A and B are shown apart, each in its own frame.
Chain A
Amino acid sequence: MATVTPPPAAPPPRRSPTHPHVGSYAQVNRDIFRMLSRPGRGWWMLFIPTLAGVGLLGFAFAVQVVLGIGMTGLMNPVGWGVYITTFVFWVGIAHSGTLISAILYLFRAPWRQSIYRAAEAMTVFAVMTAGLFPIIHLGRPWVFYYLLPYPNQRLIWPNFRSPLLWDVFAVGTYFTVSAVFFYIGMIPDIAAARDSTEVRWRRKLYTAMALGWTGTDREWKHFSRAYLYLAALATPLVLSVHSVVSWDFAMSIVPGWHTTIFAPYFVAGAIFSGLAMVITILIPMRKAFGLQAYLTPRHFDAMSKLILLTALIVTYAYATEYFMAWYSFEVPERNAFFNRAFGDYWWATWIMITCNAFVPQLLWFRNVRTSIGALFTISIFINIGMWFERFVIIIVSLSHEYVPWQWGTYMPSWVEIAILAGSFAWFFMWFLLFIRLLPPISVAELKEVLPSPLRADGAAAARVGPPADHGPSGHEGVR
C-alpha cells in the first residue's frame, strides 16, 4: 500500500490538517446548513424524475402482481434473475456506509468526518432499496408475511434452515442497526439545525428529531458512549450481512454458487461497490453545494486506496474461483466457469472482469486518485461491474447446472428493467430528500477536527476562502 503522503510541511498552525480550507465553526454552520434550505430548480429537476421512476417501479410491480411472475424473463432453470441480482447489488452498496462510519470510527481514521454522514444515509437508503426486492421477486408477494416468525393460528412457522430466512434477519438487523446508528449520530447536528433555521416546519421537525438535545456535557458524554457502542455493534454486521447474503448462494448446491470463498468474497465486493457508490454520490454533491473545502482530494484519495485494496481482493477471488473449478476436476463446476467466460453470457462476465479487476488498477496512480473526473468515471464502471458480478454469479450459474437437458438462457423483460431502473429512482429519491432535510455532512464531528477558535488573532487567520482550483466562489449549484 502506498502511504498517505503527509500534508505539506509546516502547515499553518491555525488550519485543520484534514480540512485546510475550513476556517471557523461559523463557516461550517453556514456552509452545511445552507444545504437545508428551500430547493431550487436544479433539485426539482432531479427529484421529479426520481418520483416518476418510483411510479414506474410501482406500475411494473403492479403489473407483475396482477398478471404473474411470467411478466419477468424468468424461466426454468433460471429462477432468480434481475431482482435478486439487484437485491444483492443494493445490499452491497449498503456496506460502505457502516464501514466508513463504524469501523473507521473505531480505528479513528482521520478522513471519515466529512463523508460518513452521506455514506450512512446511503446505507440506510440502499438497504431500504434492497429490502424491496425479496418482496418483489416473490411469486405471491401478498403472503410475504409467511416468512416472518410470529405466533399465528395458521400453524406456519418459518424454516430456519433456509438461508432466505437468514436473509430476512440479517438484512432486517442491519437495517435496524444502521438506521439507529445513522439517527443517533445525527442528533447533535439536528439540534444545531433546529437552532439555526428560521423555517417553522423545519424547526418543528428538527425539534422533534433532536429529542431535546441541548449540548450539555452530560449529554455529550452519553452520546459519545452510545455512539461508540453502536459502532462496535455495527462493525460485525458489516461482515455478517453480506456473508449471510452470500450464503443464499453458497449454501445451495448450484455449481458456481457452492463455494466456501463466498462470504469473504462478497464482503470485499460489497465494500468495493459501496465505496464506489459513495464516490459516485459525493462528487456531484460536492460540486452542487460547493463543498470542495469539506470533501477534499485527500478524502477521495483515501477512499480510492480502499477501493484498490478491495478490488485486489475481488480479483483474487475471481482467480481463486476459476482455479478451484479447474482444480476440482468436477465436470459441472468446470463447465459452469467455462460457461461464464465463453458461454452465452460471456459479455456479462467480461464486463464484470473488466470493470472490477482491470479498471480499478488505474488507482495505483496518484494523479488518478486525486482527479475528481477520473474517479467519478471509475466509480461508475465499478458500479456497473459489480451489478454484473451478481448477474454472472446468479444467472450464469443457474443457466448451466447439472442436467444438460435443462440448460437455458434468461433475458430480463421490460418489467424487470423498469423495476431495476425504479430501484435507482427510489434510492435517489430518498437521497435527494436527505440532502435537503438533514445535515449531509457531520457538523459536530467536523468541528472536532478544526482548531479551536482563538480569541485574539483567530478571526483573521481562520478566514480562508475556498481553494482556487474549484472556481471563484464554489457557492453556485443546486439551490
Chain B
Amino acid sequence: MERRDFLKVVGAAGAGAGLAGCSTGAAENLIPYVVPPEEIVPGMATWYRTTCQECPAGCGMSIRTREGRAVKAEGNALSPISHGRLCARGQASLQGLYDPDRIPQALRRASEGGWDRISWDAAERALVDGLASARGNAVFLTGSSSGTLNELIDAWCAAMGVERVRFDVFGLEAVRTASRLVYGSEGIPRHDLAAAEVVVTFGADFMETWGSTVDYTHGFVQGHAYQDGRRGRLIAVGPHLSLTGLSADDWIAARAGTEHLVALAMARIVAESAGASLDAPLGAVDVAAAARAADVDVAGIRAAALAFANDGRSVALGPGVAASSRAATALATAVALLNRSAGNVGRTVYPTQGELGPAGSYAALSELVDRASAGALGALLVHGANPLHGVPLAADARAAFDRIGFIASFAGQLDETSARAHLLLPDHHFLESWGDVEPRPGVHGIVQPAMRPVFQTKQTGDVLLSAARRAGVSVPAAENTFYDYLRSRWARDVMPGADEEAWRSALRAGVVVREGATPPAPGGGAAPQRTLAPPASVADVDFGQAELTGPDSAEFDVIVYPSLRFYDGRLANRPWLQEMPDPVSKIAWGSWVEMHPDVAADKGLDVGHIVSVTTGDGEAELPVWTHPGVRRDTIAIQLGQGHENLGRYARGRGVDAARLLAPIVDTASGGVVWIQARATVEPTGRWDRLPYTEGEADASARDVAKAMSLEDARAAEPVNILGLAAYRAGVENAPGGQGNERGPEEEHGEPLPIGSRVHHGQPHPLEAQVDQLQGVGGFGPITGIGAAPQDYPPPDTYYGEYSEERPRWALAIDMERCTGCSACMTACYAENNIGIIGPEQVAKGRLLSWIRIERYWELGQGGTQGGTLEAGERDGDGRTSYLGTRFLPMLCQQCGNAPCEPVCPVYAAYHTPEGLNAQVYNRCVGTRYCANNCPYKVRQYNYYTWEWPEPLNWQLNPDVTVREKGVMEKCTFCVQRIRDAQHNARVEDRPVADGEIVPACAQTCPGDAIVFGDIKNPNSRVAQVSASGRAYRVLGELNTQPGVTYLQRVSMHAPAGEGH
C-alpha cells in the first residue's frame, strides 16, 4: 500500500467513525433562535398560569419557563384555592412532566408480550375497533374530574354507548352522603378555617389530602397561628396523629371506629349548653358511655365541646381516610350535626359551595370488578384512575381485569392498571394540555400548556373527538379539537359573550372566579344559626360502634392513611417526593408501620426493626417507626407506596397497605371501609437501615425550637435583640423610611469593597441611626461585653460583617405558621437543582436538602386534664392528651459571624457585602471543615456526582449551577432571585421594593411562615416580623449572629424545657 493510499484510507475511516459517533440515531436538529419566538427571550423567564392537576383540589399555579422549557412551578396568587402557594405535590408536578418513565407514544400490546410502537392514527383506529368489538358492553372508568373534559367524556360516552364509572380513591363518599342527608346539598362543604377559632378534626387530614389542602392549610394558619394576642385551637380526635394531628393542641385519642360517638357526645354537650331539648339521635347519646367506648376521658370531650360552642367560630371536619370505618357515614353525619348545633353553618361551613366536583364511589368500582370477573365486560377505558393500586380489592380483581377483552388506558405512565391494557393512549401531562377544572362552584381554573409536549403524547380530549369521528358518531357540540371544544364551552357556560381579548386575559390570569364563589369575610356572615334538631333524613343512619375484625390473636387496630407526598400513590414516581422525608415520620422512600414507642419497647422493637403485620386479609413486612402520636392499641401504615409498576422511582418501594384490607363497601355511602382490620405484629428478627432523617427528636435541653405560653406571648414586648425596636421607635414617623437603597455601584459603576463607606453629603438621619445600630459586628473588635451568658450575643452586632451601603438580607420564620408540610423542601429542590441521592444514600445521612423541617417532640406538661406527663407516655393511653410538636425549618442561617467562613482554606465560603454566606462551588476543594464547624448543620456535601436521567434534566434551573462530587453546597437565600430583582430594579432605575424578592421556600409556603427581606430597612416586613416579642435566634448564644429570626411557637399548654 502506498503511503498516500494509507493516509486516504485512515482519513476516510476516521471521518466516518467521527460522523457515526455524532449521530445518536434520533433526529436532532439544533435550531438557533435566528428569528426567536415572540415571547421567548433567551435568559428571561416566561410565566404561564395554569391549574394544578396532581390532586382534585385545583390549585392555580404559575409555571416559569426558560427557553421554552418549564423549570419551576409556583402558586398563582390570583387563585382563591392556592393563594399563590403550592404544596410539595404541586411543586413536584414538573417531575411528572419530565418523568423519564412516561409512556413516550401510543403503544399496543404485542402478541408475544411487550409493546409495539404505533402511530396515533393506528392507535385511534385500534380504540374504535376495540370498542366496536365490545358490542356496547364497554365502560369508561375515570377519576373524579370536573370541567370541560368531564363534560366531553359524559357526552362522548353517551354518544358512543359507553357506560361511565367514576372512582376516586379518596372520594370522601361519606362526607358527600352526610352533606346530602344533613344539608341537602351535593359535594363536600367548603370550610372556612380562617374564620374558625376552634377546629376539630375527625381523621380529616386537611393539610395532606383532605379537600383543598393548600387552601385549608392557608386558612388554618390564618385562624390558628398566634396573632395580636389571639390563637386558635385545633383538636384532633382519633387513634392516630398524621401531619394535621401534629398541629393539634389537644388530642382526644379515641379508639378506631368510635370517633362518631365522640362527635355525637360533643354535639349533645354543645346542644345542652344551648339549653335545647334534645331529640334523637342526640337525645339518646350517653356521653359517659361514648367516652368509655372511645376509651377517653369524659372531661376531655366536655372541654373540647365547650370550646367548640363559641358562636359559630368553630368548625368540625371529617372523616378522612383515617376515620373511614364502617361508621364513616355516621361520623360524617355526626360532624355535620355538630357543626349545625354550634351554629357554624353559614359562618365557617358552606354546604352549598360543594368542593371538588362530582365523585364516583367505591361501590361502583366494586360492581365493575364483579362484572369483569364474571366475564361480562367487553371493553374498559381508563383515564385518571388506577384501581389496581392502593385500593382494597377482592383477591381476584387483578385476574378479573385480565379477563376483560379490551383495555385502553390513557395513563401517562405504565401503572398497575395500564400495565394490563391492550392499548396505551398516553395523555399529555397537564402542563402540556388544554383544559379547565371547577374545583368549587364559580371557580374556573384554566389549564393551558406551558411548553410543547416532551413526548409523542396526545391529549385525551383530542383522542376522544377524533375517535368519535372515526367511529362516525356525532358527539354533541363536538369541535375539531379539544381546544375548540373548550373554547366553545367557555363561550357558552363560563364567559358568555366574552371576546378574544377576555379569553386572553383569562389565560393570563389562569383562573376565572365568578360572583358568589367567595364567601363573605371571615366570621362576617349571618349571625350564627344554631340548628339543634337533627333533620329527619338522618334517622336511618346507624350510629352503632364500628367493629374492626382480624385474626383472633390480633392486638392492634390498623389505621391506614393517605400520604401527603404521593396522594393516593399516583405521584410515587416523583423522585423529589420520594426523597422528601415524610413530614411526620421523617422517613424517605419506603414504607413503615407506626407503633407507640412503649409498645415497641415492650416487644423489643426499635426504629428499623422489620415486623410482619398480619390481618385477616393479608400480610406485609414493614420496618417499625415509633410514633408517640398513635394509641398503644393501634398501628398505622401509610398508603401510596408498594407499586409494582409506575416507574423506576416507585417500583418496589415499600408496601401497598391496601393489600391488608378486605374490599368492604360502606353501604350507607358507597365508600371504602378503610378502617376495618385488626392485626398481629410479629418481629422477624431482621433490621434495616432506613432512609430515616431524624437524628434526635427530643431537643428539650437544647432549646433550639422554643415555645412560650399564650400568656407569655401576650406579655412579650417587641424585642430589642435586633436593635430594631429602639430603632423603630425613633424612625416610625420619619418620611419614607429607608427602603432598599440602591447599592453604591449605581453611582460608581462598580461594587465597592466591603467596609468602604460612601456618604453622599450629610448622612441621612436614618443612616446615622443605622450606623449606630450596626455597631462593629463580624470579626471587628467588640467592646463593652460582659462575660455572662445573657450578654451574648453582644449588643449591636446583629448585622455582622456587611457593607453599610447594601441591604442585609434576612429571613424570619414564624413557627406558629409552620405546619411541617415540607412544600418548601420540594420548592428548594426545584429552584436550586439539588441532587436526588436515593434511599441508600439517605440512609447514610447524606440528604442534600438545603432546607429541612426538624420535628421535635415537646416535653413537659400537657393535656386538658393538666398533670405532668413524661416524654413518650403522655399519650396513647386513650386519655385526652397532648402531643406537642415543634416544627423548626432549618436552613442556612446566613450568619453575620459565620463559623463556616474562617475555616475554609480556599475562601470557597465567603461573606458577601449583603450579609450572605456565599459558597463558590468551583473554588471548593471539599475539606468539609465548614460543615463540621456549622452549628446548624445546614451545609450539604456532594458525596457523588448526581444524575438526572433524561429528560428530568430539562427541569434544571439555568440560573443555578449544577454541582459535582466533592463540593459543599448550601442555601443561598435564592441569590439568583435576589440578583434578578436587583437587575430589574436597576434597569427600571428604582430601588428594590420590599417583598419583591421571594425565595422559593417562602414563595410556596402555604402558611406564609417565611418572610424575606432587607432587615436593615426598618419598614420592611422582615424587620417588623423579626421585632416580634416571640423572636429568637437559634443558637444565638454562639454569637453566630444569624440572619434568620425564628418566632416561637405558642403552646396552649405550659411548655416545659425553657429557661436553659
Which positions in A face B, CB cutoff 8 Å?
67-70, 73-77, 79-80, 137-141, 143-144, 146-147, 156-159, 161-165, 168, 248, 251-254, 331-332, 335, 398, 401-408, 410
| Contact across chains for B704 and A408 when beta carbons are under 8 A apart | no
Which residues of B in the span 945-999 have a Cβ within 8 Å of any Cβ on A?
Answer: 945, 964-968
Cα-based distance from A401 to B847 in the complex (angstroms): 18
Interface SS majority for chain A:
loop
Q: Kindly provide the distance from the CB of B598 to the nearest chain A CB, expressed in whole angstroms.
A: 21
Q: Kindly provide the distance from the CB of A88 to the nearest chain B CB, expressed in whole angstroms.
A: 14
| Contact across chains for A140 and B906 when beta carbons are under 8 A apart | no
Contact of B965 (CB < 8 Å), options: A69, A80, A407: A69
Cα-based distance from A80 to B930 in the complex (angstroms): 11
| Contact across chains for B907 and A69 when beta carbons are under 8 A apart | no
Cα-based distance from A378 to B929 in the complex (angstroms): 34
| Contact across chains for B941 and A69 when beta carbons are under 8 A apart | yes
Given contacts A70-B846, A402-B935, A405-B695, contact A161 B902 (CB under 8 A): yes
Q: Kindly provide the distance from the CB of A145 to the nearest chain B CB, expressed in whole angstroms.
A: 9
| In the complex, chain B residues whose CB is within 8 Å of the CB of A77 | 695, 845, 931-932, 937
Ordered by A's residue number, 15 sampled pairs between the chains whose C-beta atoms are within 8 Å are: A74-B941, A77-B931, A79-B941, A139-B941, A156-B907, A162-B902, A252-B929, A402-B936, A403-B854, A403-B935, A403-B937, A405-B697, A405-B937, A406-B695, A406-B937
Contact of A147 (CB < 8 Å), options: B856, B890, B905, B942: B905
Given contacts A147-B905, A408-B695, contact A139 B926 (CB under 8 A): yes
Q: Which 9 A-B pairs have the closest CB atoms?
A: A139-B926, A139-B966, A70-B943, A79-B928, A407-B695, A75-B845, A406-B937, A68-B965, A404-B696
| In the complex, chain B residues whose CB is within 8 Å of the CB of A137 | 927-928
Contact of A69 (CB < 8 Å), options: B694, B856, B926, B929: B926
| In the complex, chain A residues whose CB is within 8 Å of the CB of B1060 | 331
Contact of B906 (CB < 8 Å), options: A68, A141, A156: A156
| In the complex, chain A residues whose CB is within 8 Å of the CB of B943 | 68-70, 74-75
Q: Kindly provide the distance from the CB of B856 to the nearest chain A CB, expressed in whole angstroms.
A: 7
| In the complex, chain A residues whose CB is within 8 Å of the CB of B936 | 402-403
Cα-based distance from A403 to B704 in the complex (angstroms): 7
| Contact across chains for A144 and B925 when beta carbons are under 8 A apart | yes
| In the complex, chain B residues whose CB is within 8 Å of the CB of A254 | 932-933
| Contact across chains for B942 and A68 when beta carbons are under 8 A apart | yes
| In the complex, chain A residues whose CB is within 8 Å of the CB of B899 | 252-253
Pair count A-B, CB < 8 A: 172
| In the complex, chain B residues whose CB is within 8 Å of the CB of A251 | 903
| Contact across chains for B841 and A70 when beta carbons are under 8 A apart | yes
| Contact across chains for B847 and A76 when beta carbons are under 8 A apart | yes
| Contact across chains for A331 and B932 when beta carbons are under 8 A apart | no
| Contact across chains for A140 and B967 when beta carbons are under 8 A apart | yes
| In the complex, chain A residues whose CB is within 8 Å of the CB of B904 | 159, 162
Cα-based distance from A372 to B127 in the complex (angstroms): 91
User: Is B771 an interface residue when CB atoms closer than 8 A count as contact?
Assistant: no
User: Is B1035 an interface residue when CB atoms closer than 8 A count as contact?
Assistant: yes
User: Is B844 an interface residue when CB atoms closer than 8 A count as contact?
Assistant: yes
Q: Kindly provide the distance from the CB of B855 to the nearest chain A CB, expressed in whole angstroms.
A: 8
User: Is B1038 an interface residue when CB atoms closer than 8 A count as contact?
Assistant: yes
Q: Kindly provide the distance from the CB of A185 to the nearest chain B CB, expressed in whole angstroms.
A: 33
Given contacts A139-B966, A161-B902, A252-B899, contact A404 B925 (CB under 8 A): no
Which of the listed residues A67, A159, A332, A410 has the most CB atoms from chain B within 10 Å of its own CB? Answer: A159
Q: A75-B845, A77-B931, A146-B905 are in contact. List 15 more A-B contacts (CB 8 A).
A: A67-B944, A68-B965, A76-B941, A138-B926, A138-B966, A139-B927, A140-B924, A146-B923, A162-B904, A164-B927, A164-B929, A252-B903, A253-B899, A402-B935, A403-B695
Q: Kindly provide the distance from the CB of B789 to the nearest chain A CB, expressed in whole angstroms.
A: 9
| In the complex, chain A residues whose CB is within 8 Å of the CB of B929 | 79-80, 162, 164, 248, 252
| Contact across chains for A68 and B966 when beta carbons are under 8 A apart | yes
| Contact across chains for A398 and B903 when beta carbons are under 8 A apart | no
Cα-based distance from A252 to B901 in the complex (angstroms): 11
| Contact across chains for B926 and A159 when beta carbons are under 8 A apart | no
Cα-based distance from A257 to B964 in the complex (angstroms): 30
Q: Digit string of B174-192 for contact with A (CB within 8 Å is 1, else 0)?
A: 0000000000000000000
Which of the listed residues B695, B941, B944 has the most CB atoms from chain A within 10 Å of its own CB? Answer: B695
Nearest residue in A to B929 (C-beta to C-beta)? A164
| In the complex, chain B residues whose CB is within 8 Å of the CB of A253 | 899, 933, 935, 1038
Q: Kindly provide the distance from the CB of A284 to the nearest chain B CB, expressed in whole angstroms.
A: 37
Contact of B905 (CB < 8 Å), options: A68, A165, A331: A165
Q: Kindly provide the distance from the CB of B1011 to the nearest chain A CB, expressed in whole angstroms.
A: 22
User: Is B394 an interface residue when CB atoms closer than 8 A count as contact?
Assistant: no
| In the complex, chain A residues whose CB is within 8 Å of the CB of B907 | 156-159
Which residues of B in the span 606-647 have a Cβ within 8 Å of any Cβ on A?
Answer: none
Nearest residue in A to B922 (C-beta to C-beta)? A143
Nearest residue in A to B935 (C-beta to C-beta)? A402
Cα-based distance from A402 to B899 in the complex (angstroms): 13
Contact of B696 (CB < 8 Å), options: A143, A144, A407: A407
| In the complex, chain B residues whose CB is within 8 Å of the CB of A248 | 929
| In the complex, chain A residues whose CB is within 8 Å of the CB of B704 | 402-404
User: Is B45 an interface residue when CB atoms closer than 8 A count as contact?
Assistant: no
Q: Kindly provide the distance from the CB of B911 to the nearest chain A CB, expressed in whole angstroms.
A: 12
Nearest residue in B to A406 (C-beta to C-beta)? B937
| In the complex, chain A residues whose CB is within 8 Å of the CB of B906 | 146-147, 156, 158-159
| Contact across chains for A146 and B925 when beta carbons are under 8 A apart | yes
Cα-based distance from A67 to B966 in the complex (angstroms): 10
| In the complex, chain B residues whose CB is within 8 Å of the CB of A165 | 905
Given contacts A159-B902, A162-B929, contact A68 B845 (CB under 8 A): no
Which residues of B in the span 350-401 have a Cβ within 8 Å of any Cβ on A?
Answer: none
